[in-house]
Amino acid sequence: MLRMLKKIMQQGMVTEDYFMSSVPARFRGRLEVSDQKCRDCVKCVESCPTGAIKLRKNKICVDHDACIFCGRCVDVCEKKILRHTLNYECAHLKGQLDKEAGEAVAKKIRSVLGRSLAIRHVDAGSCNACDFEMSALLNPVYDITQYGIEFVASPRHADMLMVTGVVTRNLRSALETVLQATPTPRLVMAVGACACSGKVFGDTYAQEGAVDKIVPVDIYVPGCPPRPQALLYGLLLALDRL
Amino acid sequence: MIKTKEVAASGLRAAANAISKGGKIPLHAMFANDERSINGNFCVYVLFSGAESGDFSMIKGWIADGQPLEFPSLTPLLPAAAWYEREIHDLFGITPVGHPDLRPLVLRDNWPQDCYPMRKDFDKNSKGKSEPQEESHPHVHGEGVFEVPVGPIHAGIIEPGHFCFSQAGENMIHVDPTLFFTHRGVEKSLEGLTATQAIFRVERTCGACSVSHALSFSQAVESLAPSEIPVRALYIRVLTAELERLYNHVGDIGNICAGIGFAVGTSQGARQKEMLMRFNEELTGGRFLRGLIVPGGVAFDIPGDLIRQASSVINALEKDFEELVEIVQESSGVQDRVRRTGILPRQAAAELSIVGPAARASGMDIDLRRDHPYAAYDQLSFKVPVRIHGDVEDRLLLRVAEVRESCSIIKQTVSALAETRGLIKIELEPAAPWASGIGWSESARGANFHWVMLDAKQKIYRCFIRSASYPNWPALAVAAPGNIIPDFPLINKSFELCYACLDR
C-alpha cells in the first residue's frame, strides 16, 4: 500500500493538454505536393498501395482519406515533389457538420452535445490499431475526460459513434443496428483509412466498403492508424472547440 | 528445414498420424490451395513441427481432378485441426469427412450455399447473393441452466466477437465463441500482388502484431530464392520485434489490472505503454512500427542517436516497470482474483497446439526465437520463461518475465547495431515459378506463420496467414468453464488474443 502511494506521489501528473503535444521528426503526416512541375512519371500513382494518388492535369492529387502514410510515394518520386509533413491534423467535416449544409444544424447539434460528449466505439472490421489508439485516449497522458468526453458502454447512452475498420459483410448488420439504437441528435465519426475510404484491402468478397456507404458520416479522421492527437483533433473540430 | 511429403488426400490422416507420432507432435497450420491451373489438383497442406529440433514437416495432400472434394478429417486425431478444417470447408468447399462439428466458421448467415471465395474461379468482385441461413449452436440443457449472449459489440473498446455463455447461476458451464466478424478477405486481397505491394496489406492484418506479420511474410518471400539479408537489417528487425513485444506485454499487464478493477495498475501500465508507443513513433515514424520491415531487409535505416535513445528508454522502463510489478504483486486484491482463475491444463494446451505466453504459462517450453531461430536471434542470448499452473496469475507473471528478457535482448541488439554498418536492404532474386515457402516469427502472442506461393510472374498466387491467436482462441473455451462469469473478461485479457489476426 505504501509502495503504491509512493509511486503515485513520485509520478506526479502526466496528463497533457492537446496543444502541448509534440511530433517526432520521423513522423509521416499529411502529404505536401510542391509547386515544381511534375514529370508525369506516375511512379507515385503506381506505387500507392491504396490508390490514394491521382494525376489530374499534371497535378498530383492526394486523397488523404485513403492514404496509409507509408511513405512509398515519397521514396519513389525522383523530383522530390512529394513530402510527408509533420501535420497530423487531417480530420474534416461532412454531413450534418458540413459548412455548406448550413451552420444552423451544426450549431444546434453542438449546443446539445458540445460540452459533454458520450461516445460508443463500433469496430466494423478494423485491424485493431485504430481501436488501440482510441483506448490510448483513456490513458493518463491524454485523459480524454478532461475535455468532457467519455466512452460509454451502450449506443443507447451515446451521442457519437466512432467507427473503425472497413465494414465487413459479417458486421454490416451490427453497425446498422447500433446506429438505430443511438438517440438523435447523433454524430458518426469514421476513424482511420479503412473506415474513411474502404480501400486498404482492395475490394474483396468479405467487405462492404467504407463506413459512409452504409451509414451517414459527419467526421472523417484519416490515418493508419490516426495517432491519439489526430483523434482528439477530430473530436475537438467536430465540437468547434479548437 | 522443411521436409515435405506428398500423398493423395485420402491418405492424409494416415500420413498425419505417422508424422505427428499419434498426435504427440504439434500441428502448426492447415490450409488448402486451389492448384487446378498448375497441376489440376486441389491441395491440402498440413504443417507440423519436425521430429528433429529446428525442423518442420509438411504434408501435401492432393485431390486430383474428378475426385470427390474431400479428405479424412484430422480432428479426431488432432483436436487442433478442428478450426482449420472448418475454414477449408467454408472457403474452398472441400469436406473433411468425419469432422465432428462442421458449422460455418468464417462465412456466416448471409453467405450463399455452394459459393467458395478462395477458389480461383470465384469472381473477385462478386459478393455472392445473400441467403440467410439458420444459425445453430450447441445448447446446454439442465435444470436452471440459462444462456447469456454477449456481443459482437461489447461494452469497452474491444474488437467484435459473440460469446454465448451457458450458465448455472454465476458459474460458466460452457462458452461458445462466434468469431470472424472482422473477416476482410485479406488472403484473397493479396493474390495477384507482388510481395512489395502486398507487404502493406500484410502488416495491416493486425495492429498489435504488425511487425510480426511483416516479418513472417518477408521471411517467407525471402525463402523462395537464395538470399542473404544484410546483418544490420536483421538486427533492426529484432529491435522492432522486441519493441512490439514490450509494448504489448506492458499494455497487457495494465489491461489485466483493468479486468480486476485495480486502477493504479491500469493507469501505470497504460502510461508505460504510451511511453513505448511514443518511442516507436520516434524510431519509425509510426506508433505501430509499420513500414519498416520489407522483403529484402528494412525500408530505412535507424540512425545512431535513435539507437542510443533505445537504451535510455529501456533503462527508464525497467525501473518504472519493476515498481509496477511490485505494486501488483503485493496487492492481495489482485492475488485473490488471478490465482487459480481460468486454468488451462497442460494437456489441453498441448492437444490444441497452443502457442506463445499462454502455452508457456501452461508448462509448454516452446518459443520459435529459440527453437527455430530467425533474423538475428541465434546471435543473442535470452531465456525462455516457463510456468506450470496455467492460470491467470501465471500468464501475468510469464509476461513479466518476458518483459525482462525483451529488455535484455534490446540492449544486446543496441550494442550489436552500434558495431554493424552497411547495407540494410537487398534486391531479391526472382523465385522459381510456383515456388512456395514458409516464414515464421514469435509475436507477443506466439508463433506466427505465413505460407506464400508465387506464380510464374512473381505475383502472389496464395498466401496463408496463421497468426498466434488462431490456435489459442479455442483454448479460451477450455479455460473459462468452471469460473464465474465476471471473471471471463479477466481470463480473456490474460490470453489477450487478437480478433483481427484470427479473422483476417
Amino acid B385 reads P
Task: Kindly state the DSSP code that residue B486 receives in the 8-state scheme.
Answer: G
Residue A8: list chain B partners with CB under 8 A.
264
Give the pLDDT confidence of B290-321 residue by residue, as tens digits: 999 999 999 999 998 999 999 999 999 999 99
Of B23 and A226, more confident: A226
Residue ranges with strand state E in B335-488? 436-443, 446-454, 460-466
Query: 3-state DSSP: chain B helix, strand, coil percent, rounded to 5?
Result: 45, 20, 40
Band (B205; pLDDT cuts 50, 70, 90): very high
What is the pLDDT, as a whole number, of residue B130? 64
Average pLDDT of the segment spanning A13-18: 87
What is residue B471's three-state secondary structure?
helix
Average pLDDT of the segment spanning A5-25: 86
CB B110 within 8 A of CB B131: yes
Average pLDDT of the segment spanning A157-162: 92
In whole numbers, what is the pLDDT of chain A averaged over residues? 88
Question: Is A128 in contact with B499 (Cβ distance < 8 A)?
Answer: yes
What is the pLDDT, as a whole number, of residue B135? 65
Candidate from A108-117, A171-180, B412-421 with smallest mean pLDDT = A108-117
CB B486 within 8 A of CB B364: no
CB B321 within 8 A of CB B272: yes
What is the pLDDT, as a whole number, of residue A75? 87
> CB under 8 Å to B1, separation ≥6 — which residues?
B50, B54, B55, B56
Average pLDDT of the segment spanning A178-204: 91
In whole numbers, what is the pLDDT of chain B averaged over residues? 90
What is the pLDDT, as a whole number, of residue A126? 93
CB proximity A204 to B under 8 Å: yes
How many angstroms separate the Cα of A224 from the Cα of each of A24, A68, B357, B465? 17, 5, 28, 21
CB proximity A181 to B under 8 Å: no
d(CA B276, CA B242): 11
What is the pLDDT, as a whole number, of residue B108? 79
- Strand (E) or helix (H) holding A114: none
The set of cell numbers assigned to A77 is 518520386
Candidate from A102-111, B245-254, B289-298, B436-445 with smallest mean pLDDT = A102-111
Measured distance between the N- and C-terminal CA atoms of chain B, rounded to whole angstroms: 27
Distance from A109 to chain B by nearest Cα, in Å? 25
The set of cell numbers assigned to B302 is 535507424
Average pLDDT of the segment spanning A189-218: 92
Q: Provide ipTM, 2 decimals.
A: 0.92
d(CA B252, CA B260): 12
Candidate from B107-121, B333-347, B361-375 with smallest mean pLDDT = B107-121
CB B264 within 8 A of CB A8: yes
Band (A81; pLDDT cuts 50, 70, 90): confident
DSSP B2-30: EEEEEEEGGGHHHHHHHHTTTTTSPEEEE
What is the pLDDT, as a whole number, of residue A234? 93
Average pLDDT of the segment spanning B216-240: 92
Give the pLDDT confidence of A29-43 residue by residue, as tens digits: 999 888 777 777 888
Of A7, A122, A130, the CB nearest to B327: A7
What is the pLDDT, as a whole number, of residue B134? 63
Band (B126; pLDDT cuts 50, 70, 90): low
How many angstroms separate the Cα of B337 from the Cα of each of A63, A176, B257? 49, 37, 10
The proportion of chain A whose per-residue pLDDT surpasses 90, expressed as a percent, equals 47
CB proximity A180 to B under 8 Å: no
CB proximity B185 to A under 8 Å: yes
How many angstroms separate the Cα of B360 from the Cα of each of B9, B345, B392, B446? 34, 11, 12, 10
Indicate if the pLDDT at residue A133 is higher than 70.
yes
CB proximity A128 to B under 8 Å: yes
d(CA A158, CA A185): 10
Amino acid A157 reads H
Nearest to B196 by CA among B488, B494, B427, B356: B427
What is the pLDDT, as a whole number, of residue A107? 80
Q: Which residue of B has its CA nearest to A122?
A: B153
d(CA B80, CA B293): 31
CB B460 within 8 A of CB B489: no
Average pLDDT of the segment spanning B255-267: 91
Indicate if the pLDDT at residue B422 is higher than 90.
no
d(CA B289, CA B374): 19
d(CA B347, CA B344): 8
Give the pLDDT confidence of B474-485 residue by residue, as tens digits: 999 999 999 999
Question: Is B323 in contact with A7 (Cβ distance < 8 A)?
Answer: yes
Mutation to test the B interface, candidates A128, A133, A178, A199, most B Cβ within 10 Å: A128
CB B33 within 8 A of CB B85: no
How many angstroms separate the Cα of A123 from the Cα of each of A27, A162, A176, B499? 26, 8, 12, 11
How many angstroms separate the Cα of B226 from the Cα of each of B229, B426, B428, B450? 10, 12, 8, 18
Q: From the CA atom positions of chain B, what is the Rg in Å?
A: 22
d(CA B285, CA B278): 9
Of A24, A28, A127, the CB nearest to B207: A127
Band (B133; pLDDT cuts 50, 70, 90): low
CB proximity A105 to B under 8 Å: no
- Return the bridge partners of B443, or none: B446
- Return the bridge partners of A53, or none: A62
What is the pLDDT, as a whole number, of residue A21? 74
What is the pLDDT, as a whole number, of residue A240? 80
Q: Provide the CA B16 distance to its chain's centre, in angstroms.
A: 22
d(CA A90, CA A234): 8
Amino acid B328 reads V
Indicate if the pLDDT at residue B341 is higher than 80.
yes
Question: HEC string of B199-240?
Answer: HHHHCCCCCCCHHHHHHHHHHHHHCCCCCCCCHHHHHHHHHH
Indicate if the pLDDT at residue B124 is higher than 70.
no
- Strand (E) or helix (H) holding A210: none
Instruction: Work out whether strand B95-97 and strand B70-72 pair parallel, antiparallel, or are unpaired.
Output: parallel
Give the pLDDT confidence of B144-155 residue by residue, as tens digits: 899 999 878 888
Q: From the CA atom positions of chain A, what is the Rg in Å?
A: 19
CB B276 within 8 A of CB B295: no
Of A49, A129, A174, the CB nearest to B152: A174
Band (A190; pLDDT cuts 50, 70, 90): very high
Instruction: Work out whether strand B162-168 and strand A219-221 pair parallel, antiparallel, or are unpaired.
Output: unpaired
Average pLDDT of the segment spanning B178-182: 91
The set of cell numbers assigned to B144 is 436452471
Band (B344; pLDDT cuts 50, 70, 90): very high
Distance from B254 to chain A by nearest Cα, in Å? 10
Question: Is A8 in contact with B264 (Cβ distance < 8 A)?
Answer: yes
CB B47 within 8 A of CB B56: yes
- Return the bridge partners of B175, or none: B165
Indicate if the pLDDT at residue B85 is higher than 90.
yes
What is the pLDDT, as a whole number, of residue B132? 62
Residue A123: list chain B partners with CB under 8 A.
153, 158-160, 181-182
- Strand (E) or helix (H) holding A32: strand A31-33
- Return the bridge partners of B27, or none: B48
Band (B421; pLDDT cuts 50, 70, 90): confident
The set of cell numbers assigned to B63 is 485431390
Average pLDDT of the segment spanning A55-64: 84
Band (B448; pLDDT cuts 50, 70, 90): very high
- Sign of the CA dihedral B366, B371, B376, B381? positive
CB proximity B355 to A under 8 Å: no
Band (B26; pLDDT cuts 50, 70, 90): confident
Average pLDDT of the segment spanning A128-152: 92
d(CA B19, CA A136): 46
What is the pLDDT, as a whole number, of residue B182? 93
> CB under 8 Å to B93, separation ≥6 — which residues?
B69, B114, B116, B119
Average pLDDT of the segment spanning B200-208: 93
Give the pLDDT confidence of B381-411 residue by residue, as tens digits: 999 999 999 999 999 999 999 999 999 999 9
d(CA A225, CA A192): 5
Q: Using a CB cutoff of 8 Å and minimum separation of 24, what contacts does B164-167 make?
A: B164/B137, B165/B485, B165/B488, B166/B139, B166/B140, B167/B485
Candidate from A148-157, B120-129, B384-393, B419-428 with smallest mean pLDDT = B120-129
∠ CA B453-B454-B458 to the nearest 5 degrees? 165
Distance from B327 to chain A by nearest Cα, in Å? 6
